Amino acid sequence: MYLGIDLGTSEVKALVIDEQGETVATHSAPLTIQRPKAHWSEQSPQAWWEATNYLIEALREKCADHWSAIKAIGLSGQMHGAVLLDEQDEVIRPAILWNDTRCHEECAELEAAAPELHRVAGNLAMPGFTAPKLIWVRKHEPQNFARIHTVLLPKDYLRLKMTGQKISDMSDSAGTLWLDVAKRDWSDSLLDKCQLTRAQMPKLVEGCDISATLSDDIAQKWGLSPSVIVAGGGGDNAVSAIGVGAVNPGDAFISLGTSGVLFVVNEQYRPAPESAVHAFCHVLPKRWHQMSVMLSAASCLQWFCRIIGMTEVALLEEIEQLSDEQKSTAPLFLPYLSGERTPHNDPKATGLFHGMTHSTNRALLGYAVIEGVSFGVADGLRVLIESGTDIEQCSLVGGGARSPFWAQLLADTLSLPIITHKGGETGGALGAARLACLAAGKDLEAVCKKPQVHRIYQPDSARQTILNQRYASFRALYQNDLALRS
């Protein structure tokens, strides 16, 4: 059997699959975020490790006598987080997370200091990335910066605790702004701009390769053999791609979770930083990927449902009763509750309802929310196409995939077939378990098959004219709001 561990922002999830790729057992443990100051978002790495140990015990009980059959472990993790360790590998301060926006000024400093940044790292300097976080620590916490012996990404801290080894993979490391993404190696020049060196970085391996084996004490504690290997693993989106079978150039998926991602596999490094498109290494060798990233997606619907005191299911039922004429007169919604990345790179962008009247009800506002998120995805598709990337169809995963209405709206908005998949898991934990299979020597095509298709949503041409008009108004609304904020 093969174990996948996915270290997310809100939970750690673990999953066991068998030789046929079928799920044997799964379990999750919640995490909390600490926000001690405005714009801050932090977590304790120790809390990640405690949650992981809890999951191991839970899965060990669920798998009973079969537990010892685990041959390999894969890792998936929230990207960009900064775990700072001293010479004794003790954590210096709480980890600064991907959704922490305190280092906006440091992004501008890095852009000015490193003119090669876009070409080498393939991305704009954004507050979510790791490098500007370290510049912030150097400026505001010099005593902590002076103690830094190693910088690790979140999932790689779990690997250190599991194996005693400081190792990362190409896909996750591409999100630091210290990786030469084309060469798949650390950039000494970009590290130097942050007053860091290669010696403070972990060793790099491909996500599907062996990184290490369990240490003797952890193997004994977990009831596993010390010969159990740990795959390189990867950043959460690239590993989720393995879970949904997005492994060949042109394969694409949309993930509607807390954030929203449009992910497409490339055969070569294709940076497009001018549109805030992310260009990263995939977890497979000689493959890269591009992403457009929305900071708030399904979380916008959760936010609205909390305000009106309804469940998402109940609200969606009301939305589905709206006529096409009603939807055409609904307010517009900007889904920037946490700022925005692609295509605006605007951490100060905010959410906005526009066009309400006395006849506006909660169903119309709810429709505006999911339409606004869909338009945000359309923004991402537009700039990916402008960068030269061709997408013919998209799988849909995440919480938003549970709504047939939203899937059809995406198909109509994007003018693309949208595919949902039957049952089972398609996320980071499954992808991590599949990487464990690959590291153990199993065949890529056999392991990374696409999940069975549940339904294909074809674009409805009758809806596209009005949606195109509303999308144009959506884009103009952001520009007007930006002008008012300037």
Known binding-site positions for substrate: 79-80
Q: Within 13 Å and on the Cβ side, how many CA atoms surround 307?
A: 10
**Helix then strand then coil, % of the chain, to nearest 5:** 40, 20, 35
- How many other C-beta atoms can be found within 10 angstroms of the C-beta atom of residue 192? 14
Q: Give the position of tokens 């109509």.
A: 412
Radius of gyration of the chain (CA): 22
Contacts of residue 100, Cβ cutoff 8 Å, sequence gap at least 6: 39, 40, 41, 42, 127, 128, 133
- How many other C-beta atoms can be found within 10 angstroms of the C-beta atom of residue 181? 25
User: Rounded distance, CA 467 to CA 412, Å?
Assistant: 8
Q: What is the identity of the amino acid at 229?
A: I
Integer CA distances (angstroms), 149 to 173, 250, 311, 366, 463, in order: 17, 40, 47, 49, 57
Known binding-site positions: 79-80
Active site residue 412: no
CB contact at 8 A, 2 and 72: yes
User: Rounded distance, CA 185 to CA 201, Å?
Assistant: 11
Which of the residues 236, 251, 379, 412 is marked catalytic?
Answer: 236
Active site positions, annotated? 236
